[in-house]
Amino acid sequence: MSDSEKTSTGTVERHEFGAEVGRLLDLVVHALYSDREIFLRELVANAADATDRRRFAALTDAALSMPESPKVRIVPDKAGRTLTVTDDGLGMGKEELTRDLGTIARSGTRAFSQSLAEASPGERPNLIGQFGVGFYSAFMVADRVEVVSRRAGTDEAWTWASEGQGSFTLTPGSRAEPGTDVVLHLKEDAEEFLEPTRLQHIIRKWADHIALPIVIGGTEEMAGNQGTALWRKPKGEIDEDGYAEFYRHVAHAFDKPWATLHWRAEGATEFTALLFVPGMKPFAAVEGERESRVRLHVRRMFITDEAGLLPNWLRFVAGVVDTDDLPLNVSREMLQATPALSRIRKAVTGRVLSELGSRAKNAEDYVGFWENFGPVVKEGLIEDGARRAEIAPLLRFRSSTAEGWTSLAEYLGRMKDGQDEIFYLIADDPDALARSPQVEGFRARGLEVLLLSDHVDAFWPDHLGEYEGKKLRSITQGAVDLSRFAAEGEAAEAAPELGGLIEALKTALGEDVSDVRPTDRLVESAVVLASAGYGPDLQMQRLLRRAGRGLGALAPVLEVNGRHPLVQTLARRVESGEDVSDAAGTLLDLARIQDGDTPRDPVAFARQIASALAAKDPAPS
Ligand code: ADP
Ligand code: MG
């Protein structure tokens, strides 16, 4: 009963916006002023989203059931200078009004203002939708906005109102049916938005592909959109701009698509698909979201974007799949189990892969895609055993010898006689990789090493295992035998005897190493680390250690370069009976640092280096 009391007394609650929201409002209103007509696109998109959500929720909860023919209504009132956007959607209760309209986008504000500064004026209108700040664009044209909303399944309505100046109020309201009215009290200079033909023009331009009817006017209605589901049109009737506009809508993007795939599948399962590969890495969509958001429609009706139509490792693909072969009331459980849907998933995935495969033939064109989404595609090697062989040819790498990007096939073409493995090195820092001592001996022998620095690179090589019968081999894993490849220049000379040095190092380093051995894979560096035997690759061990799971891994092997002056000096010192324990520790730490790791004891390491440097200083006479 307290609810109705509240209604009758008309309690007003005042709430402050977060400080960030105030700034955001300012940004939206000022940066986008010249494109203010897009406020209508944003409000209509929200209305259509809310209607879609109600339809989907009603499938499993009859209390939320939809009116017979839901629509979005845009009603101008010249006398009152208001414009109202009304929908039959899910509506918002008190909580949603406070949360969704009062505190949005705090975390996105910084990214939003940065993108705004970087975007050209032509790109700006599309940023709004991308960052989920669409509702706020209403304040470009209105100096007061009221939202009257009733959540489906409840009979309580609330009015949210704000002047966009840092606070909003919540008052109990009334609404006969569930849904939402957004009432804009237009600014004096925004009266153009009371003209029905102007409104229709805006809707045709920005929201024509919305399937839900959008009508303009109160008593005398006029159709806003043509409601043509773009994907159902024949390809010949859609031009590049038409595709691009739709892409921006479904992908929340503001660039041009890198690839547009539009086809109709006939046969056991029939469907139409219109999919896009973005031309830019979308904000948060690659790192943040984990699941594919391709929209599923049944007979044009939007059903859900959670049907997992594409695997996670193709989650950057945006678009629509529309089929007649599912019932309109397909439920969440059915989404998992329906054979028709798994056939669609398979077909759609195959089609995207073959498109990538053919675009990969044009190296210059493909690089743009690979730099944006390569790391995501690599996840497929881990998650999707059945598709591994199809993914491998799509991979591109930096390499120790080739300029730019290289494929595995190109690597195979450059392999040395007698080479039967594909060598790779993984590290965090792409710049350090090329100079890494790990690569020296390979370079001296003209052996190419693939240089991997994406986070996912530590994980997939073990899953792929080989390419065209050639094993993938981490050069930090175990001992790579380079003796059968002729080296050029000084590395070709036989290494000098190290005498007792190896034993002395082993004794001094104890359990910090599992072995010390001479190596031919170094040219300019004195030492390098390798993992012991066939344990995990060194980078993998580092990741495990950082995750607190490094225990149990074998200590690394220290490999020493007998041709290096430092190593030779140490060998002589051991011969003459000197203790080289301190130097041994420093050598091991140097090897760790070269791989981007830290010294075991940074303070002790710094002291040793300092005293070694001091010893070199000629004493004052
Ligand atoms: P976005 O649509 O990208 O989430 P908006 O600023 O446009 O960002 O809207 C914020 C949120 O407010 C929406 O996600 C939705 O939850 C809610 N909302 C806005 N308009 C409506 C509406 N007409 N009906 C129901 N909920 C709405
Ligand atoms: Mg929105």
Higher pLDDT, 328 or 374: 374
DSSP strands (E only) in 484-566: 515-518, 527-530, 557-560
Atom of ligand 1 nearest to the CA of 133: 6
Q: How far is the CA of 190 from the centre of ligand 1 (A)?
A: 23
Residue ranges of the chain assigned to CATH 3.30.230.80:
231-366
CA-CA distance, 338 to 326, in Å (whole number)?
9
- Whether ligand 1 lies within 6 angstroms of the CB of 180 is answered as yes
- Whether ligand 1 lies within 6 angstroms of the CB of 133 is answered as yes
**Nearest ligand to the CA atom of 73:** 1
Residues with CB under 5 A from ligand 2 (ion): 46, 134
- Whether ligand 1 lies within 6 angstroms of the CB of 406 is answered as no
Q: How far is the CA of 24 from the centre of ligand 1 (A)?
A: 16
Report the top-level CATH class of 499-615: mainly alpha
Return the structure tokens found at 329.
């009331």
Q: How far is the CA of 48 from the centre of ligand 2 (A)?
A: 9
Tens digit of each residue's pLDDT (9 = 90 or more) over 444-503: 888 999 999 998 999 999 999 999 999 999 998 877 778 778 766 554 556 677 879 999
Atom of ligand 1 nearest to the CA of 179: 24
State which H helix or E strand residue 21 sits in.
helix 19-31
Q: Is 212 left (phi over 0), alpha (psi -120 to 50) or beta?
A: beta
- Going by pLDDT thresholds of 50, 70 and 90, the confidence category of residue 4 is very low
Q: Count other Cβ atoms within 10 Å, centred on residue 277.
A: 23
CA-nearest of 529, 527, 329, 502 to 425 is 529
Give helix 602-616 / helix 581-594 axis angle, nearest 10°.
110
Q: How far is the CA of 161 from the centre of ligand 1 (A)?
A: 15
Residue ranges of the chain assigned to CATH 1.20.120.790:
499-615
Q: CATH for 2-227?
A: 3.30.565.10
Q: How far is the CA of 474 from the centre of ligand 2 (A)?
A: 48
If one residue of 40, 43, 49, 154 were mutated to test the ligand 1 pocket, choosing by the most ligand atoms within 8 A of its CB, it would be: 49
Tens digit of each residue's pLDDT (9 = 90 or more) over 151-205: 999 999 999 999 987 789 999 999 999 999 999 999 999 999 999 999 999 888 7
pLDDT at 114: 72
Q: How far is the CA of 37 from the centre of ligand 2 (A)?
A: 15
CA-CA distance, 331 to 334, in Å (whole number)?
5
Tell which CATH architecture fits domain 231-366: 2-Layer Sandwich (3.30)
pLDDT at 550: 63
- Whether ligand 1 lies within 6 angstroms of the CB of 135 is answered as yes
CA-CA distance, 453 to 568, in Å (whole number)?
34
Residue nearest to atom 15 of ligand 1 (CA): 100
Please work out, in degrees rounded to the nearest 5, the angle formed at the alpha carbon of residue 457 by the alpha carbons of 456 and 461.
Answer: 120
CA-CA distance, 441 to 434, in Å (whole number)?
13
- Whether ligand 1 lies within 6 angstroms of the CB of 450 is answered as no
- Cα–Cα distances in Å, from 358 out to 146, 393, 408, 480? 52, 11, 16, 36
pTM exceeds 0.85 for this model: no
- Going by pLDDT thresholds of 50, 70 and 90, the confidence category of residue 251 is confident
Q: Count other Cβ atoms within 10 Å, centred on residue 340.
A: 18
Least confident of 81-90, 96-105, 413-422, 425-434: 96-105
Residue nearest to atom 9 of ligand 1 (CA): 135
- Whether ligand 1 lies within 6 angstroms of the CB of 46 is answered as yes
If one residue of 25, 90, 135 were mutated to test the ligand 1 pocket, choosing by the most ligand atoms within 8 A of its CB, it would be: 135
Pairing state between β 515-518 and 557-560 = parallel
Residue nearest to atom 11 of ligand 1 (CA): 100
Could you write out the DSSP letters of every residue in 339-388?
HHHHHHHHHHHHHHHHHHHHHTTSHHHHHHHHHHHHHHHHHHHHH-GGGH
CA-CA distance, 260 to 241, in Å (whole number)?
12
Residue ranges of the chain assigned to CATH 3.30.565.10:
2-227
